[in-house]
Amino acid sequence: MSRPIVFSGPSGTGKSTLLKKLFAEFPDKFGFSVSSTTRSPRPGEVNGREYNFVQVEQFQKMIQEGKFIEWAQFSGNYYGTAVDSVKKVIESGKVCLLDIDMQGVKAVKSSDLNARFLFIAPPSVEDLESRLRGRGTETEESISKRLAAAKGEMDFASTGVHDKIIVNDDLNRAYDEMKQFILATEK
């Protein structure tokens, strides 16, 4: 059974960019867990494929029972990553990748998932800010929030809880370092 690999790091540090490269190079080797949600399926969405669609009562019960690595509420609906969804990916023979925040990292650490933890750090806070601006997806308020949260993530990483910290300065160099860590993990 392969060990899940947890990606964390400040918003805008390049996690999605690195993961996208990894999926492009190894289309069948890795998988993401299917999230759970209480929102209604949209046309064409299949239960267990896009999301696990669950009733509010069931979702709340799962929260109570500690079944989620992380969960949140957006516009009146619950969304979360269940430990069981990660196990499903592992059972399918793929290496499960998780992109989660500090709270999620703590939850995975206290689960039985036996994960390995990778922290993607920005070269500097200034670089992080310019990447967030450059991405063009955030309001000023959202940028400030993400930069404040970044400080918490970096402080957390400085306590040595991750197996590896990669500075995403040059994308290809960071990618190679990440790949080396991930492929070594499988042995």
What are the DSSP E strand ranges found in 20-157? 30-32, 35-37, 51-53, 68-74, 77-82, 95-99, 116-121
Number of residues that bind ligand ATP (CB under 6 A): 13
Interacting span for ligand ATP (CB under 6 A) from 25-33, 37-45, 127-135, 157-165: 127-135
**What are the tokens at 59?**
């979702």
Of the candidates 4, 12, 31, 104, which one interacts with ligand ATP according to CB under 6 A?
12
Of the candidates 4, 11, 81, 118, which one interacts with ligand ATP according to CB under 6 A?
11
Number of C-beta neighbours around residue 103 at 10 A:
15
Of the candidates 135, 144, 152, 186, which one interacts with ligand ATP according to CB under 6 A?
135
By CB under 6 A, is residue 17 in contact with ligand ATP?
A: yes
**Paired sense of beta strands 95-99 and 68-74, if any:** unpaired
Identify the helix (H) or strand (E) that includes residue 161: none
Please check whether residue 97 is in contact with residue 18, taking contact to mean a CB–CB distance below 8 angstroms. Answer: no
Looking at the Cβ atoms of 40 and 172, the one nearer to ligand ATP is 172
By CB under 6 A, is residue 168 in contact with ligand ATP?
A: yes
Of the candidates 124, 134, 145, 183, which one interacts with ligand ATP according to CB under 6 A?
134
By CB under 6 A, is residue 152 in contact with ligand ATP?
A: no
Rounded CA-CA distance 40/43 in Å is 10
Closest to 106 measured CA to CA, from 73, 151, 152:
152
By CB under 6 A, is residue 14 in contact with ligand ATP?
A: yes
Residues in 21-60 at the binding interface with ligand ATP, rule: CB under 6 A: none
By CB under 6 A, is residue 145 in contact with ligand ATP?
A: no
Interacting span for ligand ATP (CB under 6 A) from 11-19, 27-35, 74-82, 150-158: 11-19
C-alpha pair distances (Å), 169 with each of 25, 121, 132, 175: 20, 9, 15, 10
User: What residues line the site for ligand ATP (CB under 6 A)?
Assistant: 11-17, 131, 134-135, 168, 171, 174
